[in-house]
């Protein structure tokens, strides 16, 4: 694979992982009404979040870090940290707050605790899959360049 495609491929793969992670963590609330947009479906909101919070930013992070630092491990670590923060604090928390806690009485601590418990294993699985994917992608790219 050409190295100029890697940022887009990485962003696209992380987008797919985000959808999987969101369904594993919060999919049980997919049919609940959203207090933020009653007419919007779970998928519609998730796809918008994926495009603007994952696909574009991850591709840009990958592209610029590879240009500036040129160290694969730094790029991988930064993207992993970014994914964990966005998955846990933005996407999953948003899903839970708009589809569950806004219709009842949850404190901020309760929301954070519940979202963390529901998200921990799916995030761990998806980060592991991401690392394996990147290792395979890097190995394949190095073979292609030789």
How many residues belong to the chain?
A: 146
* Structural domain for 23, as ranges: 1-145
| Burial state string for 89-114 with b = 16 or more CB within 10 A and e = fewer than 16 | eebbbbbbbbbbbeeeebeeeebeeb
Distance CA 66, CA 68 (A): 6
DSSP string of 89-137, one letter each residue? IIIIHHHHHHHTGGGTT--HHHHHHHHHHHHHHHHHHHHHHHHHHHHHH
Position 86 confidence tier, pLDDT thresholds 50, 70, 90? very high
How many CB atoms lie under 10 A from the CB of residue 63?
A: 17
pLDDT tens per residue, range 37-66: 889 999 999 999 999 999 999 999 999 998
How many CB atoms lie under 10 A from the CB of residue 41?
A: 12
Query: Domain tally for the chain?
Result: 1
The dihedrals phi and psi of 102, each to the nearest 5 degrees, come to: -70, -20
pTM summary value: 0.91
The dihedrals phi and psi of 25, each to the nearest 5 degrees, come to: -80, -50
**CA 69 and chain centroid, separation:** 23
Range with the poorest average pLDDT among 7-16, 41-50, 102-111, 112-121: 102-111
**Token pair for 43:** 């998928």
């Amino acid at each position: 694979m050409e190295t100029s495609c890697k940022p887009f491929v990485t962003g696209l793969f992380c987008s797919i992982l985000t959808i999987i992670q969101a369904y594993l963590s919060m999919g049980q609330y997919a049919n609940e009404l959203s207090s933020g947009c009653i007419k919007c479906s779970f998928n519609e909101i998730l796809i918008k979040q994926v495009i603007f919070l994952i696909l574009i930013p991850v591709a840009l992070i990958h592209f610029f870090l590879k240009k500036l630092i040129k160290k694969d491990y730094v790029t991988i670590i930064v993207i992993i940290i970014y994914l964990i923060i966005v998955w846990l604090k933005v996407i999953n928390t948003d899903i839970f707050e708009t589809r569950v806690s806004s219709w009842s009485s949850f404190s901020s601590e309760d929301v954070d605790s519940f979202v963390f418990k529901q998200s921990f294993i799916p995030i761990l699985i998806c980060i592991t899959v991401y690392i394996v994917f990147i290792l395979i992608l890097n190995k394949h790219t190095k073979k292609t360049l030789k």
